[in-house]
Amino acid sequence: MTLFTPNTKVGALNHVGIAVLSIEESLQQYQALFDSPETRIIESAQHGLRAAFIEQGETHIELLQAMRDDTVIGKFIASRGEGIHHMAFTVADVDAKAEQISSFGVPIIDGPREGLRGRVAFFSPSATHGVLIELIRPPEAE
């Protein structure tokens, strides 16, 4: 039995998520640094966050601001401050790859579920050398 099939192969880095205190200030700074086009801010009451995606070639920078202190991003900033929150990789089938990764003993801490920009799953950083890993299947990949 092979562990790697076409629908479970991990693709390119999709985005790096960065937790920030002020999305407006951070967005302005990152756009100036990378000479990036204007982008819109997305608010998600369901996830308790505001987000903006800055295009940087085929990879994006995802800025994340908590709308409340009791959210994942709010708790992250309270305990660690601003900074890299997660790395996201594109996959063709989030559910299949999540099942495969969890079979290796890496706990899924969230998902698979629908996220801000596609189907996602997150894996415990305690099992990935301190890095929160997200798998994503963006809608344009369907």
pLDDT tens by residue, 30-75: 999 988 887 889 999 988 999 999 988 888 999 999 999 999 999 9
* Fold exhibited by the domain 6-141: 2,3-Dihydroxybiphenyl 1,2-Dioxygenase; domain 1 (3.10.180)
pLDDT in tens, 104-137: 899 999 999 998 888 999 999 999 999 999 999 9
pLDDT in tens, 8-25: 677 889 999 999 999 999
Instruction: Report domain extents, the chain.
Output: 6-141
Is the pLDDT at 141 greater than 70, yes or no?
no
CA distances 134 to 33, 50, 82, 102, 118, Å, are: 25, 18, 18, 13, 11
d(CA 129, CA 126): 6
